[in-house]
């Protein structure tokens, strides 16, 4: 550091000397005196020279000051560099010590791991020796067991031969008898287990299903069956019958030809009957005849005019009835043609039950069950409301009302789940969705509740006879009783021929056959009774 300062000062002095020499050379040139010229400088020249010397000294001073400043800067930078170098050396020494410590710890950890590996290898060698010893002992044991097995086989063969001689049966025959006995025992045990599992599942399922169905039914209040397939119109007097018939039957022929409805005029006082397979047409004819009776003027032209007005009125009533059903169920965005078909079902009955009322009731029940099962109530209501829509066209289109209704719903843009629920509600198509299952359940509840539908006496008697025939066809059945209007069957079996397990099997088989062969509302209970009695007489 001091040598640098000395060099800097030396350079400054040299620069000052050079400046002085340059000033003398300039002075000599201006005086123009060659070396050895006798005359000296003039005062003006001396003053100028003095001025230039002063300027040269000032410049030299500035150069020296600048050199000293630069030397100071160099000195400060050199000191800073020395301090930085000292810090780096200390850091390098600290890092070196840290690396040495880490290297020492790494070597120590490596030595510990090598020691553990050596111990593990030693344990593995010991374990391998023990396994080899165990394998040797197992081989000896297997050899010994094989010898014992041979001895046992020989003893068993000898014993089998003795048993065959004593029992008079061969080994295959005895084996067959044993297998048969074990099979029978296994079947009985399996039947017991199946009965227990079915009982538990039925108990839990009936409990949950009863809760859901009960909640749905108790929240729906509907009317009893009160409608008929024949419309009755009351007249103000019997003389009106003659005016309806007209001269030589002209009016009644015109009425039947225009309306397509048969008019029955019998001995019933102050009443006439209207009969037709089409309920909408029958209602139109009833309104037509009512208007004619009120007006009092009955002739063919008047009949045609009244019929046209009545047909428009019935059409409006159908649309209004369909709209009322949608409003009651909270369903929106349905095609107008479907709404009209729904309204036409207002005049259609099934076993005495109004079809539109049945659809609305089923929709309410399905919505409640869907809410209990955390499904979409609106979708279930839509499926159930439209499931019998095909009945509005069964008198015009051939085929099942379920398939007809599905085709109509598909044509008017209903969702595929709704279409499937309609076509599968009578199992004509395999059920694939929960919505279809709930639609079937709601339909069965609405149609099977007490007072919902009527059944003809002939069909009722045939169903009871078939129930008794099915139950009597099984072996061991002694008597069969159909009870509670065909809702329960009591099957009496012979106790010496049928045990408890077989009684359970008979009940299940009868129930399955009844489901496959008969059509009935609600459910039928099959009860198999096995009773043992011991009777003695004391004399």
CATH number at residue 468: 3.30.70.1350
With a CB cutoff of 8 Å and minimum separation 6, the contacts of 521 are 444, 447, 448, 452, 453
Residue 395 sits in a domain of what CATH number?
1.10.3210
CA-based nearest residue to 373, from 425, 419, 442, 432: 442
158 occurs within a structural domain? no
372 occurs within a structural domain? yes
End position of a domain, from candidates 101, 127, 146: 146
With a CB cutoff of 8 Å and minimum separation 6, the contacts of 349 are 227, 228, 229, 279, 355
Residue 420 sits in the same domain as residue 488: no
Beta strand 525-530 with 477-483: parallel, antiparallel or unpaired?
unpaired
SS3 488: strand
Residue 443 sits in the same domain as residue 463: no
The residue segments making up the domain with residue 24 are 2-146
477 occurs within a structural domain? yes
Residue 305 sits in the same domain as residue 436: yes
203 occurs within a structural domain? no
Q: How many domains does the chain have?
A: 3
Residue 136 sits in the same domain as residue 238: no
Residue 353 sits in the same domain as residue 320: yes
Residue 324 sits in the same domain as residue 385: yes
Residue 399 sits in the same domain as residue 284: yes
With a CB cutoff of 8 Å and minimum separation 6, the contacts of 470 are 510, 513, 514, 517
Distance CA 432, CA 381 (A): 18
Residue 411 sits in the same domain as residue 512: no
CA-based nearest residue to 395, from 348, 358, 343, 346: 348
Phi, psi of 406 (to 5 degrees): -65, -40
End position of a domain, from candidates 388, 423, 448: 448
163 occurs within a structural domain? no
400 occurs within a structural domain? yes
Burial of 513 (0-12, 13-18, 19+ CB in 10 A): middle
467 occurs within a structural domain? yes
346 occurs within a structural domain? yes
8-state DSSP, 248: G
Residue 434 sits in the same domain as residue 463: no
What is residue 184's predicted lDDT score, i.e. its pLDDT? 78
End position of a domain, from candidates 114, 146, 178: 146
What is residue 371's predicted lDDT score, i.e. its pLDDT? 86
pTM: 0.45
Residue 278 sits in the same domain as residue 137: no
Q: Evaluate whether 67 touches 11 at the Cβ level (below 8 Å).
A: yes
Residue 41 sits in the same domain as residue 80: yes
Distance CA 432, CA 420 (A): 8
* pLDDT by position in tens, the chain (length 539): 555 545 555 655 665 666 666 656 655 655 554 444 445 557 777 787 788 778 877 877 888 788 788 878 888 888 888 888 888 888 888 888 899 998 999 999 999 999 999 999 999 999 999 999 999 999 999 998 988 888 888 887 887 777 767 666 666 776 777 787 788 788 778 888 887 887 777 777 766 766 666 666 555 555 444 345 567 777 887 778 888 888 888 888 888 888 888 888 876 777 888 887 777 788 888 888 888 888 878 888 888 888 888 888 888 888 888 888 888 888 888 898 999 888 888 877 776 678 888 888 889 888 888 888 888 889 999 999 999 888 887 666 777 888 888 999 999 989 999 999 999 988 888 888 998 999 988 888 887 666 556 555 566 678 888 888 888 888 888 888 887 767 788 999 988 888 888 888 889 989 888 888 887 766 788 899 988 777 777 77
Residue 480 sits in the same domain as residue 407: no
């Amino acid at each position: 550091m001091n040598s640098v300062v000395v060099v800097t000062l030396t350079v400054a002095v040299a620069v000052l000397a050079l400046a002085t020499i340059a000033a003398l050379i300039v002075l000599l040139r201006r005086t123009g005196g060659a070396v050895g010229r006798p005359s000296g400088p003039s005062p003006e020249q001396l003053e100028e020279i003095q001025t230039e010397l002063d300027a040269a000294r000032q410049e030299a001073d500035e150069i020296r000051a600048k050199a000293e400043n630069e030397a100071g800067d160099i000195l400060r930078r050199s000191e800073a560099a020395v301090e930085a170098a000292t810090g780096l050396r200390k850091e390098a020494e600290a890092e070196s010590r840290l690396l040495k410590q880490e290297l020492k710890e790494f070597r120590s950890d490596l030595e510990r791991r090598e020691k553990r590996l050596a111990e593990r290898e030693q344990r593995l060698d010991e374990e391998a020796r023990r396994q080899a010893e165990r394998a040797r002992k197992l081989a000896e044991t297997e050899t010994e067991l094989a010898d014992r097995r041979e001895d046992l086989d020989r003893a068993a063969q000898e014993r089998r031969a003795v048993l065959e001689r004593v029992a008079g049966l061969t080994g295959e025959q005895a084996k067959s008898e044993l297998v048969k006995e074990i099979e029978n025992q296994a079947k009985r045990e399996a039947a017991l287990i199946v009965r227990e599992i079915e009982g538990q599942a039925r108990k839990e399922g009936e409990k949950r299903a009863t809760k859901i169905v009960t909640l749905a039914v108790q929240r729906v209040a509907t009317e009893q069956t009160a409608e008929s397939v024949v419309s009755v119109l009351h007249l103000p007097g019997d003389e009106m019958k003659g005016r309806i018939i007209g001269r030589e039957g002209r009016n009644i022929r015109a009425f039947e030809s225009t309306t397509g409805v048969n008019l029955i005029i019998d001995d019933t006082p102050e009443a006439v009957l209207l009969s037709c397979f089409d309920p909408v047409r029958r209602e139109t004819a009833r309104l037509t005849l009512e208007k004619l009776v009120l007006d009092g003027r009955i002739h063919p032209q008047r009949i045609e005019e009244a019929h046209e007005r009545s047909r428009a009125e019935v059409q409006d009533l159908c649309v209004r009835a369909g709209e009322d059903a949608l409003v009651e169920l909270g369903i929106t965005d349905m095609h107008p043609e479907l709404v009209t078909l729904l309204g036409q079902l207002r005049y259609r009955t099934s076993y005495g039950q109004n079809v539109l009322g049945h659809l609305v009731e089923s929709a309410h029940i399905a919505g409640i069950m869907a809410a209990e099962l955390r499904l979409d109530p609106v979708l279930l209501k839509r499926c159930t409301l439209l499931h019998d829509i095909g009945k509005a066209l069964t008198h015009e289109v051939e085929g099942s009302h379920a398939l007809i209704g599905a085709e109509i719903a598909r044509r008017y843009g209903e969702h595929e789940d709704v279409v499937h629920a309609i076509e599968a509600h009578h199992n004509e198509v395999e059920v694939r969705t929960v919505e279809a299952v709930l639609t079937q359940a709601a339909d069965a509840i609405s149609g099977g509740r007490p007072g919902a539908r009527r059944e003809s006496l002939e069909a009722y008697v045939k169903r009871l006879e078939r129930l008794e025939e099915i139950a009597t066809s099984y072996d061991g059945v002694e008597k069969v009783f159909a009870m509670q209007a065909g809702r329960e069957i009591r099957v009496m079996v012979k106790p010496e021929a049928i045990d408890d397990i077989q009684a359970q099997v008979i009940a299940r088989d009868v129930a399955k056959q009844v489901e496959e062969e008969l059509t009935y509302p609600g459910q039928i209970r099959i009860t198999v009774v096995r009773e043992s009695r011991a009777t003695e007489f004391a004399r």
